Amino acid sequence: MENSYKPKILLVHNFYQVPGGEDTDFNNEKKLLEDYGHEVFTYTRDNEELNNVHLFWKLFYPLNTIFSLKTYNEVRGIISDNQIDIVHVHNSWPLISPSVYYAAFHSNVSVVQTVHNFRLICPGATLYHNGKICEDSLYKGLGSSIKLKLYKESFVHTLISAITLKIHRVIGTYTRVNFIFLTEFNKKKIMELNNKGQIIIDERKTYIKPNFVNIDREVMPFEKRKNQFIFVGRLDKLKGINILLEAWKEIKESDLIICGTGPEAEWCKTFIAENGLLNVSMRGFVDNDKIMDLIAESKALILPTQWYEGFPMTIVESLACGTPVIGSNIGNVGSLIEDGKTGIRFEFDSSGSVIEAVRNLSDMTESCGNVFRNNYHPEINYQLLLSIYENIITSKKTSDLNIIRKGNKS
C-alpha cells in the first residue's frame, strides 16, 4: 500500500465526563492511522459542555440527542473543507447525536460507526440491571427500559435515550450506516434487533475488527512465573469480585493479587480478614506499567465478570504478555477466550467452576503470544481497518454508479 492513495479520515468522538476505554480506543486509532501516513481530522465534543450551559438551553437537550444542528453544520464544514473520504464515528452520545451520520449522507461521504457497547439495543448501553443481565430492551421493547429506568436510574434520561433510538430506527437511519463490531458476540447480539421483522441494521454493512494494543515485551516462560493469579478491574459485584474471593477460600496453594478500587473495596477487605485469606493481596490503584509487570509474571489473569462487557482490553494486554485468561463464559469475555489456547472459560456464577479452572491451568504461553500477534497487533489491526475502509468506499461508489445508471435509463 506504500504507493496507493490513503483515504482522508474524519474521526468523531463524544468524550464522557469520566474517561473510559472508548476514549483510549479513539486516541489509539487516531495515532495508528497517522503512523501509517493518513491525514486524520477529528471532530470531538465533551460532556463537560453540559456543565457550562445555561439552564434555559438545557431544556432543549432532549432535542439535541435526537439531532444536533451544531454537529451537523460543523461536521459538514469539515468534510467540505478537507475533502474527507470517510467519516469514522466512535461515540456519538449524547451531544454529537445521529446528526453526524446525516452530515456524511448529505455530503455524499461514507460513514462507519465502531460499536463499543449495547446502546443500539438498550438506553442503558450495558444490558445489565439490578445485579443481573437484562435483555428486556431487546425482547420486550424500549418501553420496558423506560419502566426500569435503565439509563442513570432516571425515567427522564431513559425516556430521552429510548425516543432517540426509536425515531432513528423508524426512519431507517441505522440501515444506511456501516458498523464495526469489536467481537462476533457483539455483532450477533445487536443483529438480533432485526429478528422482529424490521431491518434495523443492514448486515451487508457490518464488519468485525477488535481493538489492539501496542505492546512489545519479552515473554516470561510459564515455569519461571510466580505461583500467583491476578485480577485487574473495578471492585464491584458486576465484575464478580465476590465470586472470585469465594473461590479463594478453597484455593490455598496459589496467591491472588487484586488490583483496583471500587464500591466493594471495604467488603473485600472484611471478607479477606474474616476468612483468613493470607494468600490474597489487595493492591488498590496500580499504574498501568506496574500492572503489565504483574500480569507478565503471573500464571493467569482472572476475569469473573457477571455481565457482557464491551471489549476488555486487559485480555489483549494479557495475551501480549503470553499470559492466559481464566474468564466467565458469557458475553465478550467468553467470546474472546479460546479454551486450552488462550485460557479457560468457567461458569460465570460458580465459584466452584473458578476453582476447577485455576487448578486445571496449563502452559499456554506460546499460543497466547501467537494469538496476540495474529489478531491484536497494531500492524494486523491497521491492515484490517484499511480493508474495511476500502470496501466501504468501493461499495458506495458502486451504489452511486448504479443510481446514476438507473436515472439515465428512466
The answer to whether residues 366 and 265 belong to one domain is: yes
Reported as a single tens digit per residue, the pLDDT across 96-129 is 999 999 999 999 999 999 999 999 999 999 999 9
CATH label of the domain that carries residue 292 = 3.40.50.2000
- Which pLDDT score is estimated for 56? 66
Measured between alpha carbons, how far is residue 127 from residues 99, 119, 123, 378 in Å?
A: 25, 9, 9, 30
- Which pLDDT score is estimated for 57? 65
As given in the structure block, the three cell numbers for residue 339 are: 479454551
The answer to whether residues 181 and 307 belong to one domain is: no
Closest C-alpha to 206, from 342, 115, 101, 298? 115
- Which pLDDT score is estimated for 1? 41
The answer to whether residues 337 and 399 belong to one domain is: no
The answer to whether residues 245 and 323 belong to one domain is: yes
Is 281 part of any domain?
Answer: yes
Q: How many domains is the chain partitioned into structurally?
A: 2
Q: Is 297 in contact with 169 (CB distance < 8 Å)? A: no
- Which pLDDT score is estimated for 2? 46
C-alpha–C-alpha distance, residues 324 and 298, integer Å: 9
The answer to whether residues 85 and 70 belong to one domain is: yes
Pairing of strands 178-181, 206-208: parallel
Share of the chain above pLDDT 70, in %: 98
C-alpha–C-alpha distance, residues 126 and 150, integer Å: 9
- Which pLDDT score is estimated for 329? 98
Q: Is 282 in contact with 258 (CB distance < 8 Å)? A: yes
The answer to whether residues 228 and 273 belong to one domain is: yes
The answer to whether residues 201 and 240 belong to one domain is: no
The answer to whether residues 313 and 332 belong to one domain is: yes
pLDDT along the chain (410 residues), means of 10: 78 91 95 98 92 72 90 98 98 96 98 97 95 94 96 93 96 98 97 91 98 93 98 95 98 98 97 98 96 98 96 96 98 97 98 98 97 97 97 91 77
Domain that holds residue 254: 222-373
Q: Is 303 in contact with 328 (CB distance < 8 Å)? A: yes
The answer to whether residues 297 and 279 belong to one domain is: yes
Is 217 part of any domain?
Answer: no
Is 2 part of any domain?
Answer: no
- Which pLDDT score is estimated for 127? 96
Is 153 part of any domain?
Answer: no
C-alpha–C-alpha distance, residues 33 and 274, integer Å: 52
